[in-house]
């Protein structure tokens, strides 16, 4: 299984944004992951739709927008207009998750649900059919460069089983602390998409880091 690789722009050098996006365009990456933080749902503030709109103008890869914000339903259409192809909301921020997923689908975007480390994957039981992507947080959201929480591997296996039993094509994305040291284990547990911030943009050779993550799909068969 060849995984999808989604470099996270949060770890890029913002003074050289154009070059960093050009690099992603030239790479084996499949998506570009964009972390939106509001200082309320998470204790950090990143960027919003105007930056995403500018990125959309120069990025040739689909934009995977991860909303770490409260009341995301207020901004779904704006993020879609800015160029989001996948819009992911947090289960912990959505009291009416089913309605929010419908709202995302109505815009024509793919709908993702992100799950914090403390939230059991079983909480997705009644909406799994309505989700294109589950983003399992393998760190507490808010910052790049944190350590991978290994309990996530068990959550991947449980979620994969739920998806397989129902014959769904929901993708499992892993976000936080992903790198060459753990990618094969994550993929053999059942993940489909790897988000990678620091391990790509802080690598000596980011193009090679992306290619090597992509090749981990082959290695994972041996784990
Ligand atoms: C964390 C973000 C991640 C972050 C990953 O809140 O959702 O996407 O950019 O960064 P690394 O790969 O450095 O852990
Ligand atoms: Zn993210």
| Least confident residue range of 53-57, 107-111, 160-164, 217-221 | 217-221
> Is 28 among the residues known to form the active site?
no
Residue-level pLDDT at 5: 98
| Residue 222: pLDDT over 70 | no
| Residue 223: pLDDT over 90 | no
Tokens 């500018």 sit on residue? 54
Separation of alpha carbons 123 and 77, rounded Å: 26
- CA of 34 from ligand 2 middle (Å) equals 7
pLDDT range class, residue 42, cuts 50, 70, 90: very high
Ligand 1 contacts (CB < 6 A) are 8, 10-11, 33, 35, 66, 139, 141-146, 175-178, 195-199
Arithmetic mean of pLDDT, 138-164: 98
| Model confidence pLDDT, tens digit, residues 103-133 | 999 999 999 999 999 999 999 999 999 999 9
| Residue 44: pLDDT over 80 | yes
CB-CB contact of 180 with 216 (8 Å): yes
| Model confidence pLDDT, tens digit, residues 3-27 | 999 999 999 999 999 999 999 999 9
- Please provide the CATH number assigned to the domain covering 4-220: 3.20.20.70
Arithmetic mean of pLDDT, 51-67: 98
> Is 35 among the residues known to form the active site?
yes
pLDDT range class, residue 217, cuts 50, 70, 90: confident
Residue-level pLDDT at 90: 99
- CA of 175 from ligand 1 middle (Å) equals 6
Q: How many whole angstroms from its chain centre is CA 18?
A: 21
Separation of alpha carbons 164 and 168, rounded Å: 6
Separation of alpha carbons 160 and 170, rounded Å: 9
Residue-level pLDDT at 17: 97
Arithmetic mean of pLDDT, 90-99: 98
HEC assignment per residue over the chain: CCCEEEEEHHHCCHHHHHHHHHHHHHCCCCCEEEEEEECCCCCCECCCHHHHHHHHHHCCCCEEEEEECCCHHHCHHHHHHHCCCEEEEEHHHCCCHHHHHHHHHHHCCEEEEEECCCCCHHHHCCCHHHCCEEEEECCCCCCCCCCCCCCHHHHHHHHHHHHHHCCCCCEEEEECCCCCCCHHHHHHHCCCEEEECHHHHCCCCHHHHHHHHHHHHHHHCCC
Residue-level pLDDT at 193: 98
Q: Mean of the per-residue pLDDT values for the chain?
A: 97
Tokens 């901004």 sit on residue? 75
| Residue 178: pLDDT over 70 | yes
């Amino acid at each position: 299984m060849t995984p999808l690789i989604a470099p996270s722009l949060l770890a890029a050098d913002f003074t050289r944004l154009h070059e960093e996006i050009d690099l992603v365009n030239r790479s084996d990456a499949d998506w570009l992951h964009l972390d939106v933080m509001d200082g309320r749902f998470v204790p950090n503030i990143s960027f919003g739709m105007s930056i995403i709109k500018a990125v959309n103008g120069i990025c040739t890869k689909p934009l995977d927008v991860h909303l770490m914000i409260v009341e995301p339903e207020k901004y779904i259409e704006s993020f879609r207009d800015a160029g989001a192809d996948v819009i992911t909301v947090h289960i912990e921020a959505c009291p009416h998750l089913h309605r929010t997923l419908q709202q995302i689908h109505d815009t024509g975007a793919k709908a993702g649900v992100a799950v914090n480390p403390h939230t059991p994957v079983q909480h997705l039981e009644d909406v799994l059919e309505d989700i294109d992507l589950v983003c399992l947080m393998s760190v507490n959201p808010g910052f790049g460069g944190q350590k991978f929480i290994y309990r996530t591997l068990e959550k991947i296996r449980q979620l994969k089983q739920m998806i397989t039993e129902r014959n769904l094509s929901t993708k499992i994305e892993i976000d936080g602390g992903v790198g060459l040291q753990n990618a094969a284990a994550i993929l053999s547990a059942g993940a489909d998409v790897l988000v990678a911030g620091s391990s790509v943009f802080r690598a000596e050779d980011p193009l090679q880091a992306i290619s090597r993550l992509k090749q981990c799909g082959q290695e994972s068969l041996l784990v």
